[in-house]
Amino acid sequence: MRVAVAIREKLTAALAPQSLDVIDDSHKHAGHAGARAEGESHFTVKVVSAKFEGLGRVARQRLVYSALKDELATDIHALAIEAKAPGEAA
């Protein structure tokens, strides 16, 4: 849970999200390239934040990538991102 906790803490600090789900998808990738036996290598992040207002998909993803740059360089092999502004979350 070390990586998932780091993801949650860093995205909370960077984005002040209204909602945040961090889903460990590593079990779906067991045996694939980049998958570690201990897991915590493949994640889906669903985040709703006012910081995404007026931004396109790529700019939103860049905010997430920026917050998780250390984990992306070391622990995270794959990251799926669903980034929405509050009015889009319904």
Count other Cβ atoms within 10 Å, centred on residue 67: 20
CATH of the domain at 12: 3.30.300.90
pLDDT confidence of residue 37? 59
* Residue 6 phi, psi (nearest 5): -60, -40
Over range 3-9, report the average pLDDT: 95
Rounded to a whole number of angstroms, the distance between the first and last alpha carbons of the chain is 29
> What is the pTM for the complete model shown?
0.86
What's the number of domains the chain is made of? 1
Both tokens of 7, joined, read 């993801």
For 19-72, what is each residue's pLDDT tens digit? 999 999 886 656 666 555 566 788 999 999 999 999 999 999 999 999 999 999
pLDDT confidence of residue 35? 55
Interior/surface letters 46-57, b for 16+ CB within 10 angstroms, e for the rest: bbbbeebeeeee
The range of the structural domain enclosing residue 23 comes to 2-88
